[in-house]
Amino acid sequence: MKRTTLALLVSWLCACASGASETTTKIVDSVKASADSIAAAQAAAAAAPAPVAAPVAASDTNVPRSYVDTAAWVVDARQIDTTESGSAFQCAPRMFTEADTLTLRMSAPHGAWLSVKRPDETTFYLVTPVSGTTPNYSIVQPDSFPNKVMVRFLGGIVSRPGPDNSGAMTAIFGKSGYYEFRVGNDLGTNRPRDVQECTIKLVPRSRY
């Protein structure tokens, strides 16, 4: 009788041990499956391409363009030299006030950028190629600018400084002194190309 009872007890213990082992195995397998799922999700996220930046919209990009003079204009030989010996890039008038209309004459084709640097070294980019990631404040259509021969705009023009137009909207010609215009390519980088320059001087109205 005692041997039979002992045998039954051993059999019951073995069955319990076997069940516990199976339960432990199932738990380990479940944890491993969860870890594998997390790792797979992380790998998929890392391999996913970065989202493409949407073009930045701004409500005031047309402000500088509103100062462009599109009226027909007869070339003044006293200000612009249209002969073959004339400079490929000319600015007029050589002395001006903010009440004047400025004229830039360029030999086409030329660079896709147009900039002007104030006496305090602040640079405004009047024409830049469209980047798709920053607002474009070009005074003429960027795609047609390289073939433009002449651009005219009012001296009271306002815009945002810097190649990314991140500065505050302000008057370009607000300080007396020399203004340097440049036309070329990649003017907003450390390696500008095909650069041509011309300089004119802003003077107070009372002295002009």
pLDDT digits (tens, 9 = 90+) for 111-155: 999 999 999 999 999 999 998 788 899 999 999 999 999 999 999
Asked if residue 116 lies in contact with residue 123, where contact means CB atoms within 8 angstroms, the answer is yes
pLDDT single digits (tens) 8-49: 444 544 454 455 455 545 544 554 555 566 556 566 555 555
Please state which architecture CATH assigns to domain 64-207. Answer: Sandwich (2.60)
Q: pLDDT by residue (tens digit) across 157-180?
A: 999 999 888 889 999 998 999 999
Residues 6+ apart with CB under 8 A from 146: 108, 109, 110, 111, 112
Angle 110-116-120 from CA coordinates, rounded to 5°? 155
Residue 132 has a pLDDT of 79
The predicted-structure confidence for 65-88, as pLDDT tens digits, reads as follows: 999 998 888 877 788 888 888 899
